[in-house]
Amino acid sequence: MRRILLPWLALLLPTAVLTACVSAPVTESSSAQTVRVATYNTSLYSDDAGGLIAELAGDSAHARKIAAVLQKVRPDLVLLNEFDYDDAHRAADLFQQRYLAVAQPGGGEALTYPYRYLAPVNTGVPSGLDLDNNGVAGGDGRARGNDAWGYGLHPGQYGMLVLSRFPIDATQVRTFQLLRWSQMPGAKRPMDPATGKSWYRDEVWSQLRLSSKSHWDVPVQIAGTTVHFLVSHPTPPVFDGPEDRNGARNHDEIRLWHDYLSADKAAWICDDQGVCGGLAAGERFVIAGDLNNDPVDGDGHHDAILELLEHPRVLRQATPRSEGGEETATTYAAAGIEHRGAPAHVTGDFGPRNGAMRLDYVLPSTGFALIGNGVFWPKKSDPDAAIADGSDHHLVWVDLQP
């Protein structure tokens, strides 16, 4: 079942308003028209099918921290990346009922979202093809994951979950789980530098799906306006070889949204219901997700994210920032891991090998008034740091007036 909408009874505190580029603390809103939109890679996944359900059915300290951050920041509309999908939506139910709906230590008051959207993703779904060119289709463990449509050890691993205070028009959701990579004009088809030939054989390339998880266009009704929540989680541009197949895929997964917003480039984009074309001119949107691409640092084709940031339909805004991110990136720089990006702009800590980078984005369309934005990443000396380490990524938020 692809389109899920659950109308729960809900009570939410008013949305918070902060000045631009301030990350914490969150204060009460003085304007009912201000909407807070966020993205958060929660790392709520398990290597075992049903593992997240079992974790949430118990008493998960990890999930309590994630819930506490959400209660502290209180977004009205949020994408959760790396939240395992299951057909019965049991994990989503448990997270709402046992964690969000219960005031968590260090968080805020209980938080309930009356609407949500979740659907199947490509991660862990067997392709029946030899995608890693090891001579075998499928296998066990990582070999099985490498030959799934998107890397994963079981179907639904690293899934996505949209939570909303505003109604979702489930009948108009567009998903792009099945869209084939080869349909993209000028796709970055990976090449084997040792042979000069395509990494994927023609019969494989013609079937390979573009989205490593899925791309969703989720229409949300906010203050009488339809806002298209454009969400995704492109593959990391690493864990491959000199053919750079994941780097190429990351580039083109990000490019999908660029083309979706461009009337002269969108004809090739056909959703899972067979409807082709992009987002009509004048429609409001917010792009959100862990896009796994820093504008200047780390691996990946940086032109992909730069072109999306500079798309004429994307609102120009000061880059969200945090004191904790600046502290962490500066510490890495002192240890010899130097990056070109501004330390305060990073959104995740990826250890002493890779340092801190900006991978998570909330990009509203033109037509919104920007009230503020930030990254929930307090300094280590801040009491809020006790709930901010539930994931290697940190929540990014933007406050808007429709």
Alpha-carbon distance 61 to 206, whole Å?
44
Q: What is the pLDDT of residue 33?
A: 84
Specify the DSSP class assigned to residue 6: -
Give the mean model confidence (pLDDT) for residues 120-148: 95
Average pLDDT along the chain: 92
144, 148, 157 from 130: Cα distances, Å: 10, 9, 20
Tokens of 57: 């059915």
Instruction: Give me the pLDDT at residue 50, please.
Output: 98
User: Is residue 122 a contact partner of residue 158, using CB atoms and an 8 Å limit?
Assistant: no
Q: What is the mean pLDDT of residues 369-396?
A: 97
HSE value, Cβ hemisphere, 13 Å, CA-based, for 350? 22
Task: Give the phi and the psi of residue 246 in degrees, each rounded to 5.
Answer: -75, -35
State which H helix or E strand residue 362 sits in.
strand 360-364
What pLDDT is recorded for position 301?
Answer: 97
Please, what's the b/e burial string for 318-344 (b: 16 or more CB within 10 A of its CB; e: otherwise)? Answer: eebbbbbbbbbbeebeeeebebebebb
Of 152, 155, 150, whose CA–CA distance to 142 is shortest? 152
Confidence of residue 32 (pLDDT cuts 50, 70, 90): low
In this predicted structure, the answer to whether residue 14 has a pLDDT above a threshold of 50 is: no
pLDDT > 70: percent of the chain: 92
CA 176, 249, 80, 284 torsion-angle sign = negative
CATH of 35-121+156-401, one of 3.40.50.720, 1.20.58.1030, 2.30.42.10, 3.60.10.10: 3.60.10.10
DSSP character for 183? Answer: G
Provide the terminal-to-terminal Cα distance of the chain, rounded to the nearest Å: 31
Residues 6+ apart with CB under 8 A from 191: 197, 198, 199, 243
Cβ–Cβ < 8 Å for 49, 154: yes
CB distance 391 to 345 below 8 Å: no
Classify burial at 203, counting beta carbons within 10 Å of its beta carbon; exposed 0-12, middle 13-18, buried 19 or more. Answer: exposed
Return the higher-pLDDT residue of 338 and 390.
390
Report how far residue 366's alpha carbon sits from residue 79's, in angstroms, rounded to the nearest whole number. Answer: 20
Flag whether pLDDT at 185 surpasses 60.
yes
Look up residue 105 and give its DSSP letter.
Answer: T
What's the rounded Cα separation, in Å, for the pair 190 and 234? Answer: 16
Taking CA atoms, 110 is separated from 66, 102, 376, in Å, by: 13, 5, 19
C-alpha 55/C-alpha 131 separation (Å) is 31
Closest CA to 358 of 344, 372, 371: 344
Q: What is the pLDDT of residues 91-119, one digit of tens each?
A: 999 999 999 999 999 998 999 999 999 99
Structure tokens that stand for 116 in this block: 């949500």
Query: Cα 300 to the chain's mean position, in Å?
Result: 17
Report, as an integer, the average pLDDT of 44-59.
98
**Band of residue 2 on the pLDDT scale cut at 50, 70, 90:** very low
Find the largest Cα–Cα distance for the chain.
Answer: 62
Residue 375: which region, alpha, beta or left (left: phi > 0; alpha: psi -120 to 50)?
Answer: beta
List Cβ neighbours of 85 (8 Å cut-off, separation of 6 or more).
Answer: 91, 118, 119, 120, 121, 155, 156, 159, 160, 161
DSSP 8-state symbol, 234: P
Q: Is residue 285 within 8 Å of 279, Cβ to Cβ? A: yes
pLDDT one-digit tens code per residue, 359-379: 999 999 999 999 999 999 999
What type of residue sits at position 217?
D
* Residue whose structure tokens are 């899925």: 214
Contact assessment for residue 278 and residue 266, using Cβ atoms and an 8 Å cutoff: yes
Q: Which residue stretches of 269-338 are H helix?
A: 302-309, 323-334
Cis bond leading into 14, ω under 30°?
no
pLDDT band at 18 (very low <50, low <70, confident <90, very high): very low
